[in-house]
Chain A
């Protein structure tokens, strides 16, 4: 998989929030096999709360994908992206412009505008968007080279609420990397996304809030690989009625016949 000209081996992208401890996070990152981890920016204290976390992340060897989580306006998102570029020394940005406090669904109008501003400024934008095809087109026109449709609201673990929408995206945006971002709860959700032809899955809470995060990270990695392999193997078409898989020809006649 190539994202903005960079070869990426793992099709699983992992968030770094909500783990019980930095050690559990490091273990989960390792067992997921991911090559890309997402991070954020928050207010610093004079004691330097962020420094230790950042040192630990650099040790993972993963590429860093900073986000603009929590930004509700174009200006907030653009300013946050600039701060992230300096702080993490990367032009990759996971662009979130949140439109609704309860669903955390993207404000797609602000998203397109922010994507245009940031792309023009040299950022490589990973836009957190919906499955809307027109919005996707606008994001590509704005300079994005990939799209990150949601599966379900962030942190909800509901799985894919609109598989048909994602299938339509796959058909419409042939050749554009599509990464399902948000809503994955179980390994089967990740497999389903990959079977639909998504190029990768980005998840966080499903691993961080599992009873055993490292084990779930590995399960997710296997699920992503299984779904990808299934997609490439070209699954059969679904049918409404049964079709016998065992040949009918040569079937014995074994009914008891009544004697006269």
Chain B
């Protein structure tokens, strides 16, 4: 299915969020995730099933003021 990851389209085979992160090569312990604007906590990732067209945000620590 095709999902939007950090504003870019990606074709993924996995369906649950945890597996999608693994497939895309993210270090799952060092990122925070939101699907369609809603936060998904780390322990819940395996339970969340993604659908075609879903928007996934994968965020990491960054410099800030």
Contacts and interface: CB of A to CB of B under 8 A. Distances in A.
B24 A38 contact: no
Interface string B45-65: 000000000000111111111
Contacts of A49: 60
A19 B62 CA distance: 12
A82 B30 contact: no
A83 B64 contact: no
Contact of B33 (A51, A83, A88): A83
Contacts of A50: 30-31, 59-62
B61 A87 contact: yes
Interface in B26-41: 26-27, 30-34, 37-39, 41
Contacts of B59: 41-44, 50, 80, 83, 87
Contacts of A76: 37
Nearest to A15: B65
B63 A39 contact: yes
A156 B40 CA distance: 36
Contacts, number: 107
A75 B37 contact: yes
Interface in A7-50: 15-19, 25, 38-44, 46, 48-50
B6 A44 contact: yes
A84 B57 CA distance: 13
B7 interface: yes
Contact of B58 (A40, A43, A75): A43
Contacts of A80: 59
A97 to B, nearest CB: 15
B42 interface: yes
Nearest to A40: B64
A140 interface: no
B64 A43 contact: no
B57 A43 contact: yes
A42 B37 CA distance: 14
Contacts of A79: 34, 37-39
Contacts of B57: 43
A54 interface: yes
Given A41-B32, A86-B41, A48 B27 contact: yes
Given A38-B64, A44-B30, A54-B60, 12 more contacts: A18-B65, A39-B63, A44-B59, A50-B59, A51-B27, A53-B62, A82-B39, A82-B41, A86-B32, A87-B32, A204-B65, A205-B65
23 contacts: A16-B65, A17-B64, A39-B64, A40-B61, A40-B62, A40-B64, A41-B32, A41-B62, A42-B62, A43-B57, A44-B31, A46-B25, A51-B60, A66-B64, A69-B64, A79-B34, A82-B32, A83-B33, A84-B32, A87-B30, A87-B59, A88-B61, A155-B65
